[in-house]
A and B are shown apart, each in its own frame.
Chain A
Amino acid sequence: MSTNDEIIYYPPSIQTNKQKLQRAQDIASLVLGVGCGILTLESAYGFVFYLAGITLTNGIFLTACCEGKPEKFFTKPKQEIFLEGLFNNVPGFVMMWCLIYALVKASS
């Protein structure tokens, strides 16, 4: 017999939510890369910009999409929203950063 407090999860919803979060972070990381390139930020400033931007995006996601109750939509809310996306999306950001930086500085 299961205990009274056991929570039964619905796996498709977990997956779908993860994909949606991933999509929001994909878009955010690419756009932050573009912005970083336009502002021609260099070295540490660029990464600080990324960190601030992606955390801000996660914050918007948390308030708008999770309606302030992330535990209703994610099994491990803090880790899934704030930590996992942070490092997975760095390559996309770096790519756009390098590209736009090179294009903006093309003639100087």
Chain B
Amino acid sequence: MSTPDLLLDPQLKYWVLLPISFVMVLVGLLRSNATYLLQPGPKLEEFKALREKQFLKRAACFRQNNGVLTKEEFENRKQYFTATLESNEFYAIVEDPNADPANPLTDPGMNDALMNMAKGNVMNYIPQTIIMAWVNYFFAGFVIMKLPFPLTDGFKQMLQTGIETPDLNVRYVSSISWYFVNLFGLRPVYSLLMGDLAAAELMNQQQQQQALPNIGGPGGPKADKLFKAEAENIQILTHKSIFDGITERVLEKYADELKAL
């Protein structure tokens, strides 16, 4: 470099850079453990609501796997599913069509969901704001490091807050920019510290088994709409059994080997 380097006190590195990183890692770990503790346990679902979901899933399974049934079985089930899906036999709550639409804010289920979302957000933002205020308050007003890569002057405002030197190279930055670098860069560190691959593997396997459709939950569609749609889907199904023309297909597939014999 043509311009001489700015002489920075080495003690700055040991008493500013490392403490900020250390605190951010610890707070991150604390936050993830706290969110885990604040998570509500699985709720006991009302049997009618569960039955509604399971029936819908059953209908969907029938729609996807109807090839394994014979013609007669298929027709029977098709009739049963279209008839039942259009009746209100499996609805969790039979709604009065004339009633006013309920206010979503008074619904207790909705309230719970909102509460959880709020908790998640609070756990995300409060620690970050506190650390940022802490960094700004304790380590303000001096240059702590020189970045190894050049930046455009647009970053000057953000990365050199508190340094009243208009012509300083943007590569010299204050503590708040180290905070930002940490904020984005610590993800792999967290995942190495907390991530247990074996546990994640088990989790993946469990999740695969309990995929039920989301009905009537916050943001989810109403049950009657889903049931109607499923009924229509089943109505237009055309049946083709996997055993149709099986002899020809098997012979065709193994034709070459048969010839070889």
Interface residues of chain A, those whose CB is within 8 Å of chain B, are 1-2, 11-12, 15-16, 19-20, 22-23, 26-27, 29-30, 36-37, 40-44, 46-47, 89, 91-99, 101-103, 105-108
Residues of B contacting A108 with CB < 8 Å? Answer: 5
Contact check, B181 vs A95: say whether CB atoms are below 8 A apart.
Answer: yes
Q: How far is the CB of A38 from chain B (nearest CB, A)?
A: 12
A30 contact set on B, CB distance < 8 A: 188-189, 192
Q: Which residues of A contact B205 (CB under 8 A)?
A: 12
- Compute the total of residue contacts between A and B using a CB distance below 8 Å: 95
Binding site secondary structure of chain A: helix
Pick the interface stretch among B93-101, B121-129, B132-140, B194-202: B194-202
Q: Contacts of A47 on B, CB cut-off 8 Å?
A: 149
Return 30 A-B CB contacts under 8 Å, by A number: A1-B241, A1-B242, A12-B201, A12-B204, A12-B207, A12-B208, A16-B204, A19-B195, A19-B200, A19-B201, A20-B197, A23-B192, A23-B197, A27-B188, A42-B148, A43-B148, A43-B149, A46-B148, A46-B149, A92-B185, A92-B186, A92-B189, A95-B181, A95-B184, A98-B147, A99-B17, A101-B148, A102-B13, A102-B144, A105-B146
A40 touches B181 (CB 8 A): no
Given known contacts A12-B208, A16-B200, A97 and B188 CB-to-CB distance under 8 angstroms: no
